[in-house]
């Protein structure tokens, strides 16, 4: 059996190779390739292009090795229609990503090639980070730290008159996939009341939690956190207007899910209590980004899924699905 592994700065080809050797031993001939650069900022730009379905350069020499391959394992590198056409024996495309935006999925299926992805690989990391951002924003952890570093013992914060504990909150979850489900489980364990808006209608298969429409969720929630894998704007200006004055917005998913101009306006005019964002329309964040002017928002640089476990365990987890 011949396998091609295409690593990158986040999950390198050596980790993929070790997982295949552990699974197949000497029965697997492995060819290794590296995709993109070893600069994280440049790679995030490449990833954004892939998610917007733009073409990006493939590893040199890959077409000379792909003609007799049985398995392609990748993380960020695209597997295109032309690659599939050249891989006459290809049976499996294994993606260490949560999504398959970098894979020509429909074309692969038309050739009877099975595509398997790994939405669990960084799901727990993102879920944990989401809980952290909720606590950080409500309890003013970063603001307090920042003030102390400037030799200021700060007592007044944007929400000083209404600082609640998690157990007193209703938290609205937008998107009930792998990550959304984990966030819900962790919040329920912390005695939070949870509402879910399931834009993919998974709710009809689940009677364990409370589901509602988007308007009801926004009007009823103290905190709204986004976990939708969508290219659509879910929280537009009208939707944001449903939020109550003490509400918070958390986004560890995708920047495009929110009309960020409208979000800035309601934060600036204190129509909601606060927000925490880990994703942005332009990354790295530009120095003139208006969110940087505000005291009632926490900003982090796309850190939610970035843990050692989420990378090194993914190839082995993926192979268990075969």
Which candidate, 142, 164, 129, places its Cα nearest to that of 248? 164
Q: What are phi and psi of 196, to 5 degrees?
A: -130, 130
Q: Which of 232, 302, 303, 317 is catalytic?
A: 302
Which candidate, 267, 266, 303, places its Cα nearest to that of 285? 303
Peptide linkage before 284 cis (omega within 30 of 0): yes
Q: Which of 254, 269, 293, 317 is catalytic?
A: 254
For residue 283, indicate whether it is catalytic.
yes
Residues in the chain: 322
Q: Which of 18, 81, 283, 303 is catalytic?
A: 283
Active site members = 254, 283, 302
């Amino acid at each position: 059996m011949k396998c091609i592994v295409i690593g990158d700065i986040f999950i390198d080809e050596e980790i993929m190779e070790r997982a295949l050797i552990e699974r197949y031993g000497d029965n697997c001939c492995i060819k290794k390739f590296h995709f993109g650069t070893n600069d994280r900022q440049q790679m995030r730009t490449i990833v954004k292009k892939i998610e917007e379905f733009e073409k990006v350069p493939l590893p040199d020499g890959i077409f000379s090795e792909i003609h007799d391959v049985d398995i392609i394992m990748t993380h960020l590198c695209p597997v295109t229609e032309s690659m599939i056409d050249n891989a006459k024996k290809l049976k499996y495309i294994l993606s260490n990503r949560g999504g398959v935006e970098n894979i020509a999925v429909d074309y692969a299926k038309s050739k009877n090639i099975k595509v398997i992805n790994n939405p669990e690989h960084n799901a727990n990391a993102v879920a944990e980070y989401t809980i952290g951002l909720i606590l950080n924003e409500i309890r003013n952890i970063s603001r307090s730290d920042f003030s102390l570093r400037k030799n200021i013992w700060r007592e007044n914060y944007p929400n000083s008159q209404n600082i609640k504990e998690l157990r007193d909150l209703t938290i609205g979850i937008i998107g009930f996939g792998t990550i959304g489900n984990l966030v819900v489980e962790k919040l329920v364990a912390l005695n939070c009341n949870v509402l879910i808006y399931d834009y993919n209608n998974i709710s009809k298969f689940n009677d364990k939690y409370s589901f509602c429409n988007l308007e009801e969720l926004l009007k009823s929630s103290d905190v709204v956190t986004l976990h939708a894998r969508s290219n659509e704007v879910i929280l537009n200006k009208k939707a944001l207007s449903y939020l109550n004055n003490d509400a918070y917005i958390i986004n560890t998913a995708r920047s495009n899910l929110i009309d960020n101009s409208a979000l800035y306006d309601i934060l600036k005019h204190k129509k909601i209590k606060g927000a925490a964002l880990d994703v942005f329309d332009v990354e790295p964040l530009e120095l003139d980004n208006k969110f940087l002017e505000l005291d009632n928002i926490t900003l982090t640089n796309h850190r939610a899924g970035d843990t050692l476990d989420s990378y090194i365990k993914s190839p082995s987890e993926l192979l268990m699905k075969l």
